Amino acid sequence: MPSTAKPLPPTKVPDVTLAFWLIKIAATTLGETAGDALSMTMQLGYAVSTAIFFAFFASTVAVQIRAKAFHPMLYWLVIVATTTVGTTMADYADRSLGIGYVGGSLVLFTILMVVLAAWRWSTGSVSVRNIATPKAEWFYWLTILFSNTLGTALGDFLADTSGLGYEGGALVFAAALGLVALAYFYSQVSHTLLFWAAFILTRPLGATLGDLLTKPHANGGLDLSRISSSLVIAAAMAIGVLLVWQRSRTRVGAVARPTPLGSRQGPQRNQVRQRAKDA
């Protein structure tokens, strides 16, 4: 008797590979430099900049959710939108509202935990292996938005309040990411938990790198232009996305070709892709 179950729609998020994390760090660095460019260099302030970037996020995520398939450039455009609005939102809470870095981080962490709990209660999982339904996508993007905002507050706290500076803060978050990677490969800790931990930690790493590039020499930065730095990072990121997309198309085409009888090449490739998705 034929099965009446409908096949699952294709996932609309990329494979979680090393390239994914490198592009994610570039996106978070871009979020820091672009957010500061609008709020500080153009002197629009945190509130106005947050409103502009939130409108950008809302429009891009709406297009992403309405899309029927995965589009790499669109996906990463939404990621950049979350990092830019996360930058100005965290700065507004920390500096304009006077909550402070610690207070802002606690508020954002609480919101993030509530979103994750609601996602788990609503869909039964917070795994990123198959984000294919509108409900899962909304929760996915809300989690990313607040994780990036939390990461900004954490990065500013460690770099400014703790006295470590931008270089010290970047080293601390890079080391923390290294520990997460070791746990991924050599422990039984949930890959879903480790994915979200890494996702949060890449944001303050990118934030401290962005501040290192653009802050004045007196504050420990390289005093590069925020606008120029943003354009260079955006171009490098776009090239990286295109290269990864082209490579994935080539790999999928090779897997789709018929293999000799008894060959295990196809299954092995599929297993590699599945392990990469298992976050």
* pLDDT digit string (tens) for the chain, length 279 residues: 455 555 556 788 898 899 999 999 999 999 989 999 999 999 999 999 999 999 999 999 999 999 988 999 999 999 999 999 988 988 888 778 878 778 888 888 999 999 999 999 998 888 888 788 899 999 999 999 999 888 888 887 877 776 777 778 888 889 999 999 999 999 999 998 999 999 988 988 888 888 888 888 777 788 888 999 999 999 999 999 999 988 877 765 555 555 444 444 444 444 444 444 454
What pLDDT score does 267 carry? Answer: 44
Helix axes 134-156, 100-123, angle to 10 degrees: 160
φ/ψ bin of 263: left (φ > 0), alpha (ψ from -120 to 50), beta (otherwise): beta
Closest CA to 205 of 159, 246, 237, 240: 159
How far is residue 93's CA from residue 96's CA, in Å, rounded to a whole number?
A: 6
pTM (predicted TM-score)? 0.82
Q: Could you tell me which of 3, 44, 204 has the C-alpha nearest to residue 109? A: 204
Yes or no: say if 246 and 94 are a contact pair by the CB < 8 Å rule.
Answer: no
CA dihedral 58, 135, 184, 28 (to 10 degrees): 0
What lies within 8 Å, CB to CB, of 40 at 6+ separation is 226
d(Cα 92, Cα 35) in Å, to the nearest integer? 11
- Report yes or no: 125 and 191 within 8 Å, Cβ to Cβ: no
